[in-house]
Amino acid sequence: MYTSNADTTPRLFLPDSLAADQPVALSEAQAHYLGRVMRMGPGDRLRLFNGRDGEWLARLDAVGRKHAVCVPETQLRPQAPDPDLWLAFAPLKREATELVVEKATELGVARLCPVFTERTNTSRINAERWRAIAIEAAEQCERLSVPDIAEPVRLPALLAHWPADRPLAAAIERQPHAMLHPLGASAGLLIGPEGGFASLEVELLRRHPFVVAAGLGPRILRAETAAIVGLALLQSRDGG
């Protein structure tokens, strides 16, 4: 849950449909946040979004220790499409992975695809925790949706099922590649683990025509930094 610096009205995500004058119930955690943390009561306003119906100004109708009900009143923004950008990345240590999830959400990624590679240094995927981080990031950055989180797969399976019409930019370090640039309206970015892709994985990537080997600059970046830089470059305009 987050309060914007520009607008102090709390902004919350919830899965229910949003329509004028149709009451919706908030979660126990959201009720605690509004009632105990924000000290809000009946009649106070908040903003709601669900990834489908745009953003709404709502009236808090009732709030207790474990429950809250609010009523959407006015649509502030209609639903708008997000960039059709997917991020496939090798999970890192917990804090680094959570940073990737947070920043990818802020940068508009539509789908997060965890992928296991030869050098991936963790086998733990906490999708529930990732989704909570993505929701909080979407609330903070005033995004209208939350990215999907795909089931984790190994690299060969990711490539076997990747849509052939969606370019996949693979950040392969220590090799001479052209600088990453926008690849069209629908694209993906693949970031390997700390230590990079194994040689056989690089060969596998090169066998797929939708894979575009790309560079991220003259320095070797940490994997979490590479994800942020790569997403920014894929969405740049005119090279800037």
CATH number at residue 34: 2.40.240.20
Select from 62, 77, 92 the last residue of a domain: 77
Of 174 and 147, the structure prediction assigns the larger pLDDT to 147
Mean pLDDT of the 109-124 span: 93
For the chain, what percent of residues have pLDDT higher than 90?
A: 82
In a domain, 6, yes or no: no
Question: How many domains does the chain fold into?
Answer: 2
Question: pLDDT digit string (tens) for 183-212?
Answer: 999 999 999 999 899 999 999 999 999 999
Tell me the whole-structure pTM to 2 decimals: 0.91
Q: Is the pLDDT of residue 59 over 80?
A: yes
Domain boundaries, position 63:
11-77
In a domain, 29, yes or no: yes
Select from 77, 107, 132 the last residue of a domain: 77
CA distances from residue 74 to 25, 56, 58, 59, 237 in whole angstroms, order as listed: 17, 6, 7, 10, 34
Q: Is residue 102 located within the same domain as residue 54?
A: no
In a domain, 239, yes or no: no
Select from 34, 51, 77 the last residue of a domain: 77
Q: Is residue 18 located within the same domain as residue 97?
A: no
Query: What pLDDT band is residue 2 in, cutting at 50, 70 and 90?
Result: very low
Q: Is the pLDDT of residue 133 over 60?
A: yes
CATH number at residue 174: 3.40.1280.10
Question: Looking at residue 179, what is its pLDDT?
Answer: 87
Q: Is residue 118 located within the same domain as residue 209?
A: yes
Q: Is the pLDDT of residue 154 over 60?
A: yes
Per residue in 136-158, is it b (16+ CB within 10 Å) or e — as a string?
bbbbbbbbbbbbebeebbebeeb
